[in-house]
Amino acid sequence: MWFAAMSQAESEPWLFHLVLKLLRGDPAVLSLMDDGPFRRAPPRYIRAELYRYRFARPGEGGHAWWRRTRLGSYLPPLALDSPVLGETLAELGWRD
């Protein structure tokens, strides 16, 4: 079966910048998203989990088009004061 391999979170600098913007409740970033859980207040933590998705087989219970299997944590829980977030952003030169 073919599937695309995900890179490690550390090699995706945009992801850390997105996390920073979400934790700060940046209106420009939130305006790009559908109504979601961050409209009233920014989250205290952001994490990312990694899943493998596949099409559901005909008759495979319910009306779901997809089945997913959790592969593990992609990005650990991060807060504005997380050392990992601060160090990564500093290495990238992003301090806004």
Confirm whether 53 is domain-assigned. Answer: yes
Residue 3, in any domain of the structure = no
Q: Considering the entire predicted model, what is its pTM?
A: 0.76
pLDDT of 2 higher than 70: no
What pLDDT digit, counting tens, does each position of 26-69 carry? 989 888 887 777 778 899 999 999 999 888 888 777 778 888 89
Band the pLDDT of 1: cuts 50, 70, 90.
very low
What is the distance between the alpha carbons of residues 96 and 90, in angstroms, rounded to a whole number? Answer: 10
83 within a domain of the structure (yes/no): yes
Residue 58 falls within a domain, yes or no?
Answer: yes
Angle between helices 83-92 and 13-24 (to 10 degrees): 120
State which residues form the domain around 68.
9-36+45-92
Distance CA 71, CA 60 (A): 21
Alpha helices in 1-49 (DSSP H): 13-24, 27-30
For residue 40, what pLDDT is reported? Answer: 83
Number of domains in the chain: 1
Query: Is residue 72 in a domain?
Result: yes
Is 20 buried (19+), middle (13-18) or exposed (0-12) by CB count in 10 A? buried
pLDDT digits (tens, 9 = 90+) for 19-28: 999 999 998 9
